[in-house]
Chain A
């Protein structure tokens, strides 16, 4: 069957199996920035944004992407033009093995879109589905706070 959707801002039309999940088809089409972790919706490594809302792509059928806007970490920025969250992640040292990083940053992006200056509790709740087994959560939380401060300062300057 065919699905049409937006992926990282580009219109796509893909032929997919009716029983395929989104994680599989994204990776089969070269989007290996979406990581395969637990395959049970528990670890958050495969997080994507669906119309701006983070969810695990391993527990989403490919057909559910029809008409939606899917964003992977590659849609946020890259090494030459990183998103402020990616920049902050590097600066505060929130990466160790990096496997959880794409999912964490996408969850953080959705949080900042909803709550530009989140409390620590809001940050912890937003990251509750993204497990990290090496760095832990202190540095990612720090990176999100830093990004929020920077984006709000920028906004303040622009608004003035």
Chain B
């Protein structure tokens, strides 16, 4: 529940990135970043005594070019949704539009989605599929981390005391495509299943490379490597996609929660993956 956290002793508003990194490094586990605030203001562990608010650092710039997207970590999802409407066939904007209500998207930031490590953070799923680079500033310098790491580690383990400054999404290439599909009962709610796909096709429309990621069920995204392997070398036809969906249904082991049981989530993850791949193939073919 949102509310008052009497154990917080200090609220810092660093005026430079160096100041922010120094604060995070000094207080380590006792510090938490305030980005949009939608997660922090809801629930804050008792170990957190210092809040580090990043809003004065100018990290909210969004730049969209043919070469790629530079997305400031403090850009809220609504801003990204509007700025990236034409990028990657609209898939980034579409993914942002499925996160919460307009009120949530006006506040929740891209960096916050990447760092929170909550099952309902959908953006890392797409960023992993797009192989985005996440710029993380640490006391010893800036590091570009592959978003693919989000498929095997909790964000807190990747970031440590580092601060995400921006995401770099590669530009769309003609024979590549991406897709994102979220199974939800009403627009904006937490997903029962989420999947994002990226494919590269050759001149015969055969898939030569593929990334397929699932989300919505655990603190980090999950790479569906076995499904990727099954797709590479195929044309992603109905028979292959049905096979891939059934394979996911059998092998993927999501958790149950009060809204959706495991069996439903298994089935829906297969469906979401199939539809994300279909979108990606259509984009790759249309991009030629």
The interface of chain A, by Cβ under 8 A from chain B, is 1, 17-21, 23-24, 39-42, 44, 47, 53-56, 58-61, 63-64, 66, 107, 125-130
- Give CA–CA (A16, B9) in the complex, Å: 11
Contact A41 B102 (CB under 8 A): no
| Segment of B18-26, B39-47, B173-181, B256-264 engaged in the interface with chain A | B39-47
* Min CB–CB distance B54 → chain A (angstroms): 10
Ordered by A's residue number, 20 sampled pairs between the chains whose C-beta atoms are within 8 Å are: A17-B4, A17-B6, A18-B10, A18-B51, A19-B5, A19-B6, A21-B2, A21-B3, A24-B3, A24-B4, A41-B2, A41-B38, A54-B102, A54-B103, A59-B2, A59-B107, A66-B53, A107-B102, A128-B103, A129-B102
Task: Identify the 4 closest CB pairs spanning chains A and B, nearest first.
Answer: A129-B101, A19-B8, A129-B103, A19-B5
Please give me the residue from chain A that is nearest to B105 by CB atom. Answer: A129
Give the B interface residue count (CB, 8 A).
31
The minimal Cβ–Cβ distance linking B260 to chain A, given in whole angstroms, is 18
Bound CA span A127–B188, Å: 12
Tell me if B37 counts as interface (CB < 8 A to partner A): yes
> Do B2 and A55 touch (CB < 8 A)?
no
| With known contacts A61-B51, A63-B11, A39–B2 Cβ distance under 8 A | yes
Q: Given A58-B41, A61-B40, are A40 and B2 also a contact pair (CB < 8 Å)?
A: yes
* Contact for A59 among B5, B9, B42, CB less than 8 A: B42
Residues of A contacting B11 in the complex (Cβ-Cβ under 8 angstroms): 1, 18-19, 61, 63
- Centre residue among A17, A56, A127 by max chain B CB count within 10 A: A56
Contact A61–B103 (Cβ < 8 Å): no
B53 touches A61 (CB 8 A): yes
Min C-beta distance of B257 to chain A, whole Å: 16
Q: Please report the C-alpha to C-alpha distance between residue A69 and residue B106 in the assembled complex, in whole angstroms.
A: 15
Whole-angstrom CA separation of A139 from B8 in the bound complex: 43
Distance between B255 CB and nearest chain A CB, rounded to angstroms: 21
**Complex formed: what's the CA distance from A20 to B4 in Å?**
5
List residues of chain A with CB within 8 A of the CB of B63.
Answer: none
A63 to B106, CA, bound (A): 17
Which chain A residues border B232 with CB–CB below 8 Å? none
User: Is the beta-carbon distance between A54 and B106 smaller than 8 angstroms?
Assistant: yes
Q: How far is the CA of A19 from the CA of B13 in the complex (A)?
A: 14
Known contacts A56-B103, A64-B37; A21/B4 CB under 8 A = yes
Q: Closest residue to A62 on the B side, CB-wise?
A: B11
Q: Distance (Å) between the CB of A64 and the closest chain B CB?
A: 6
Q: Say yes or no: is B100 at the interface (Cβ < 8 Å to chain A).
A: yes
| A64 to B9 Cα, complex, angstroms | 16
